[in-house]
């Protein structure tokens, strides 16, 4: 086959959560527009949920429209080992165990078929979510280039990557963890233990999620390439330090090609349209409140939040996911709340967040600090109130408040009070603090814009990353064909 040009064919597998599916889909489109063939894999359950969330039309293949526009993105769905009716949110440990042991076996089979396909250009690259513990194992077995896609800040990746240092220095997995600053992680300025990811602050460190963490951040060390949905200028030292270990490229933010419109359905819940409601509100007057797709909160916190929002006097849109407390606890808003807030507050189960926060009426975002929400809010220059709940959200808050100064904190402990909610909303939506936050977020936004411009860092890194994959793919094919490097 020497001399013949084969299109590069990459298999992409996101972790089956909204905050991971979104950047994976946008990256698939970006790679396909650079001439890649992509086989995008969702779990059957994710596919079913996305299809159900689409009103009006049934979509068996979420990339059908993208393909009509000339992109070669194929779509495959694979069982995660559980029936569609299984409640993955309520039984997370079991679900995550399934992703480790059963989903991986199905993926192994699918990858084998795509690699050995005789009629199609066989796949030569696997782009898998860093949280999967088996990415490099499957890639190596099938002789694929392994790209680990990290959908959180580089700071979070590097903290997990150096778990051994945290352990050795007594900041993690000690009978009593040290409380002083952590100042020995390469590329990270001193960081407080309270800014670590929730799993590293936990007392029980033998959960299923911890098993994932121990294995996934060992596995990532064998990836050929790491790509991060972040921006070099925002995390320069961290990215450089990671790069000294393994080829690491900051290619973010990975957004839809046209920011507010995507021709690929990704929402796991039906989106309520908030445009009409927002059109009637003055510019910058509405607070958007959302805790993302994954985190849960207590019924008590929801009550305090509701009373706080109601007493604040500010107009708001509040995304109250049906399973926000738990999927078997659905009656949690205060009695008569919706009547009480009338047309000042809009409660929706889900919406197109990007469309909402791009609307000029939005003036602030009370967020759980999911990484996508932070990137999207920066892009729309909307300052933040931080209310982290779990995982990387505590570390992301540190970036928002301490490093970039584009947001304020809701509270230090997890249980909130209505008074704190009123106080912080009023700080965010009025007065001098708001002016300072707005000025700061505009500066950070400029960095994102520059990074994404033709000569910007993310575009440059993306280009280098693509070239590196292609070179490594050619090397793999050469090795496979000849047992040594081909001279192509
Ligand atoms: O009503 C809504 C709410 C959210 N979104 C979108 O859903 C995504 C949510 O992502 P993110 O803000 O990152 O939150 P999570 O869904 O909670 O994301 C998970 O994945 C992220 C990336 O790995 C982590 O940073 C988070 O902590 C983790 O909970 C974003 O693109 C939002 O635009 C909507 O479209 N509509």
11 Cα–ligand 1 center, Å: 23
Distance CA 386, CA 401 (A): 8
The predicted-structure confidence for 278-292, as pLDDT tens digits, reads as follows: 999 999 999 999 999
Backbone phi, then psi, for 286, in 5-degree steps?
-105, 135
Share of the chain above pLDDT 90, in %: 88
Distance CA 488, CA 478 (A): 8
Give Cβ neighbours of residue 206 (< 8 Å, ≥ 6 apart).
Answer: none
362: enclosing H helix or E strand: strand 362-367
371 Cα–ligand 1 center, Å: 7
Report, in angstroms and rounded to the nearest whole number, the Rg of the chain calculated over CA atoms.
23
Nearest to 270, CA basis, from 49, 14, 450: 49
ipTM score of complex = 1.00
Map tokens 């995507």 to a residue. Answer: 262
Distance CA 5, CA 349 (A): 48
Mean pLDDT score across all residues of the chain: 94
C-alpha pair distances (Å), 164 with each of 135, 159, 214: 21, 10, 10
| Strand residues in 156-303 grouped as ranges (E) | 225-228, 248-250, 286-290
CB 322 within 8 A of CB 291: no
292 Cα–ligand 1 center, Å: 4
Residue 59 — pLDDT band, cuts 50, 70, 90? low
Query: What pTM was estimated for this model as a whole?
Result: 0.96
Can you tell me which atom of ligand 1 is nearest the CA of 374? Answer: 12
455 Cα–ligand 1 center, Å: 29
Tokens of 15: 């972790």
23 Cα–ligand 1 center, Å: 10
The predicted-structure confidence for 113-170, as pLDDT tens digits, reads as follows: 999 987 788 999 999 999 999 999 999 999 999 999 999 999 999 999 999 999 999 9
CB 262 within 8 A of CB 289: no
Domains present along the chain, CATH in parentheses: 9-260+453-486 (3.40.50.2000), 274-449 (3.40.50.2000)
Share of the chain above pLDDT 70, in %: 96
Mean per-residue pLDDT, 49-54: 94
The residues that bridge with 319 in the sheet, in sequence order, are: 348
pLDDT at residue number 3? 46
Tokens of 461: 């890194």
Can you tell me which atom of ligand 1 is nearest the CA of 349? Answer: 1
61 Cα–ligand 1 center, Å: 22
DSSP 122: P
Residues with CB under 6 A from ligand 1: 17-20, 22, 151-152, 267, 290, 292-295, 319, 350-354, 370-373, 376, 391-393
**Strand, helix or coil for residue 62:** coil
C-alpha pair distances (Å), 43 with each of 20, 50, 116: 13, 11, 22
Distance CA 59, CA 47 (A): 9
Q: Is the dihedral of CA 146, 224, 205, 155 positive or negative?
A: negative
Counting ligand 1 atoms within 8 A of each CB, the residue from 16, 373, 374, 389 with the most, and so the one to mutate, is 373
């Amino acid at each position: 086959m020497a001399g013949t040009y084969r299109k590069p064919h990459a298999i992409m597998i996101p972790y089956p959560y909204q905050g991971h599916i979104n950047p994976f889909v946008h990256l698939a489109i970006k790679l396909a527009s650079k001439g890649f063939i992509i086989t995008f894999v969702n779990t059957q359950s994710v596919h079913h949920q996305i299809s159900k969330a689409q009103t009006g039309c049934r979509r068996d293949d979420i990339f059908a429209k993208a393909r009509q526009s000339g992109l070669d993105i194929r779509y495959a769905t694979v069982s995660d080992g559980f029936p569609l009716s299984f409640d993955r949110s309520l039984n997370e440990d079991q679900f995550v165990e399934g992703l480790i042991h059963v989903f991986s076996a199905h993926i192994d089979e699918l990858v084998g078929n795509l690699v050995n396909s005789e009629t199609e250009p066989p796949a030569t690259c696997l782009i898998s979510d860093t949280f999967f513990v088996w990415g490099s194992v499957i890639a190596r077995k099938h002789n694929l280039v392994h790209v680990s896609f990290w959908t959180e800040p580089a700071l979070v990746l590097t903290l997990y990557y150096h778990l051994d240092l945290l352990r050795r220095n007594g900041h993690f997995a000690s009978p009593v963890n040290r409380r002083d600053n952590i100042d020995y992680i390469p590329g990270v300025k001193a960081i407080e233990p309270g800014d670590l990811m929730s799993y590293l602050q936990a007392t029980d460190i033998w959960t299923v999620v911890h098993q994932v963490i121990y294995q996934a951040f060992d596995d990532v060390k064998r990836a050929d390439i790491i790509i991060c949905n972040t921006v070099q200028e925002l995390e320069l030292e961290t990215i450089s330090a990671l790069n000294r270990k393994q080829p690491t490229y900051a290619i973010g933010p990975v957004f839809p090609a046209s920011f507010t419109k995507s021709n690929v359905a990704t929402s796991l819940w039906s989106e309520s349209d908030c445009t009409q409601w927002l059109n009637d509100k003055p510019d910058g007057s509405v607070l958007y409140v959302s805790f993302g797709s994954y985190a849960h909160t207590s019924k008590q916190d929801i009550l305090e939040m509701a009373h706080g929002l109601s007493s604040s006097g500010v107009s708001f849109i509040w995304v109250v996911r049906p399973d926000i407390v738990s999927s078997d606890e659905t009656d949690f808003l205060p009695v008569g709340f919706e009547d009480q807030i009338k047309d000042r507050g809009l409660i929706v189960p889900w919406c197109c967040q990007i469309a909402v926060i791009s609307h000029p009426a939005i003036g602030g975002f009370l967020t759980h600090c999911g990484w996508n929400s932070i990137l999207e809010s920066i892009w729309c220059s909307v300052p933040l109130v931080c209310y982290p709940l779990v995982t990387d959200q505590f570390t992301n808050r540190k970036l928002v408040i301490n490093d970039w100064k584009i947001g304020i904190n809701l509270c230090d402990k997890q249980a909130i009070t209505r008074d704190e909610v009123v106080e912080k909303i009023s700080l965010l939506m009025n007065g001098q603090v708001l002016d300072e936050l707005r000025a700061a977020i505009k500066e950070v936004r400029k960095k994102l814009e520059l990074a994404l411009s033709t000569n910007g860092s993310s575009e440059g890194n993306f280009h280098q990353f693509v070239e590196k994959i292609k070179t490594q793919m050619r090397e793999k094919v050469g090795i496979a064909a000849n047992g040594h490097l081909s001279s192509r």
